[in-house]
Amino acid sequence: MKRKALLLLSIVFICAGAIAQDLAVDSLHVQTKYSGSWEYIENDTIQTNDSLIVEIKLTNIGSGLFNPGDSIKFGMSAGGVAIGSDFNVAVTKNLVPSRSEILEIKNGFTFPAELGAVDVCVYVLDSKHGIGGNRSDDTVCANYNIWDRAITVLSYSPTEGKAGDDVTIKGSYFGKTSADNVVKIGGQTADIKSATENQIVATISVLAVTGKVTVEAAGLIGSSSDDFTVLDENGNVIYPTSIAETAKLTSFTGVIDGQLVLSTSSVSQNVRIIDLTGKTVKEINDIPTNSDYSINLNELQDGIYIATYGDEFFKFIK
């Protein structure tokens, strides 16, 4: 009879100990730094390779005390597959019964692959008091759609224009501010007047040529499917040149202080400068042979030009 009483007393103490120390994981929160500062994800969509902060709300539902510095080990899963079990976090304040604390489980966590819509779960594996893993209140889950982000350029208006005109670009996953985006038209950077995640207003550069509209944000680039048509002041289409950037540069040194510099050969030849419409804008005859020769470009408007010297070509920006 005495042994039975001792056994029952031991069971009572064990149960009391389990009740005295008990944790509940109440909610799961995820933050992303996609837009430059940490923000909570509101649309339940996590992008692959985004740097994330994973947090949980932890509540002491027992009658005992968790002290600052008490370590709790967490695990995490996505779609039922474990994706981490080494998240050791210390309580930072006294968790008296019924008191809660938001704990940062992992800073800089990423999902490297697209998973689709899955339950992301965080659960207690172990703690100073040996609690975790076996009870439903030790686990919290939230459904997220984990997929690859892709910047899309869906449309732009107008579809043609000249330098200085504004273009409204619509799409998805642009940067939230002008500073978060880089817009190029025909490969040339355009000034951005305003930007949201779905719309950008940009001004066509004086260097722009007919070509794709691209938006770059957070290391990703989206491109239009069609070319934007860039016009000159007379309404002529400015086409990109087919001459390679580095084609035949033997004689040309480059543009220095507003001067096009070249080293002439022993044969007297002319220099002709053309714009991207094929129009000759400057021609220099009777250039001295075997000398370093400079051509003043001040009279040219800002833009992209091609200089020819015999059978040599040099593409430059003024």
| Same domain assignment for residues 101 and 166 | no
Tell me the per-residue pLDDT of 226-260, one tens digit each, with 9 for 90 and over. 999 998 878 888 877 544 443 445 678 888 888 99
253-306: pLDDT as tens digits: 888 888 999 888 877 788 889 887 778 899 988 888 888 889 999 999 888 888
pLDDT in tens, 163-218: 889 999 999 889 889 999 999 998 889 999 999 989 999 999 877 888 999 999 98
Task: Name the domain boundary from 118, 147, 176.
Answer: 147
pLDDT > 70? residue 1: no
pLDDT at 21: 62
- Tell me: the pLDDT tens digits for 142-178? 999 898 878 999 999 999 999 889 999 999 889 889 9
> Both 38 and 142 in a single domain?
yes
Residue 224 belongs to some domain of the structure: yes
96 & 118 share domain:
yes
List of residues 6+ apart from 52 with CB closer than 8 A: 30, 31, 32, 46, 106, 108, 109, 110, 111
Domain that holds residue 93: 21-147
Say which CATH number the domain at 31 has: 2.60.40.10
Residue 13 lies in a domain: no
Question: Is 1 a domain residue?
Answer: no
Residues 25 and 143 in one domain: yes
> What is the pTM for the complete model shown?
0.51
